[in-house]
Structure formats: C-alpha cells, structure tokens
Amino acid sequence: MQIRLQQLILALTGLVKWYQQLLGIDVLTIDDMDRYWVVRSPEWTEFHQDPKLSVGSLLEDWAGLQRVLEGGTPTAVDFERLGAVIRVVSDRILEPSTSETRGSKAGRIDIHLRQLLLLLAMLVEHYQQAGVDALEIDDMDYYWVVEPPDWTDFQKDPSLCVGSLIDDWAELQRVLKEDIVTTVDFNRLGAVLRTVSERLGRQ
C-alpha cells in the first residue's frame, strides 16, 4: 500500500468540505473531555502479545499542534496528534457535547475545521521539502483501537477492537473518487495519520 502525502490533504479536504456544506459545521468546541485510551506504537500493530493501554491527552495534542501553527518545526509525532484530534471531531459530530461547562475557558478547545487542513498541509509540506512524497506501507495492516465512545470513557474498562489500515485507505480512496463521506472516515483518516507518524518516526 502506498500513501501519497498529498492524498492525505485531499481526503481531509473532502471530509471538511462535506461537513461544512451539509451540516454547516465550521467550528467544534470541546470543553468536556481531555483524556483518551490509546494503544501506543509500536504495540498498536503487534498481535503476538496482549496490547497495553495508555492514556493520551487531547489538550496536550492540541497544544503541540498549536506550536506547529505558530511556526515550530513539525515532527512525525504531530501526524499522530492530528489523528487524535480528527477522531475527536468525528465523535463530536456524531454526539454533540452535553457538557454543562460550556463557556468555561478551562480545558476548552475550539477546533476550526479549516485549521485541521492548514495543519496537515504544513506537516506534509515539511516532509515533502525533506524529500518524502509517499510512504510504502507493506508490513502493517491490522491494528488495535478503542472505538468511540469507549475511547474517552474512564468509568469502565475499555474494550479493544481490531481495525485494518488497508480497509481504511481503500475507503478514503472512495472519498477521493466519489465524494461520498461518512463520519467514520474521520476515524479512518486518524488511523492512517498514526501509520504515517510511525513510519516517518522510523526514518
């Protein structure tokens, strides 16, 4: 499977455009969550042992991405951070916040969908300037994931599911060709961005 970095931008553009036009969504406010369950690299694609769950932080991910927007040098980890933020966008579109803390500035993030495009464009441009236009992924397919809504639920033990990068990438190609979008496509793109992050981190 070959992932062309420019195709990542096209896929996210299609997703954002669809949600802006169909649902009128330009900005999503996240003020009722921070922590999420995740299986870290490289364990997230290893199946010879039980995976260990870790805790990620949306606030830390978003702060790291703001550093890129402010001119900081992008890193491979920023693709994974953006993938986590994109998963939150998918969740929030499916289930709008019922938080009673709206208006509180503590822990509040306003995600402008256009900012996601700008961030991805900055990450891709940085790596294209370093000579990376595409990545060959021939040793990864299945991965561990905690699906919504369990991935942000800390009141119970999360259950792990198995995803497929090959299936995710094939479905994103459908988005590019047919312009048919679902909220699950945000999650698919999030998984592909994790893959890109891991592969770039090895180089």
pLDDT, tens only, 135-144: 999 999 999 9
Reduced to 3 states (helix: H, G, I; strand: E, B; else coil), residue 98 is coil
d(CA 132, CA 122): 13
DSSP symbol at 201: H
Number of other CB atoms surrounding residue 21 within 10 Å: 9
**What would the two tokens of residue 141 be?**
């397919």
Query: What is the pTM for the complete model shown?
Result: 0.91
Give tens-digit pLDDT for 85-134.
Answer: 999 988 887 776 554 443 334 488 999 999 999 999 999 999 999 999 99
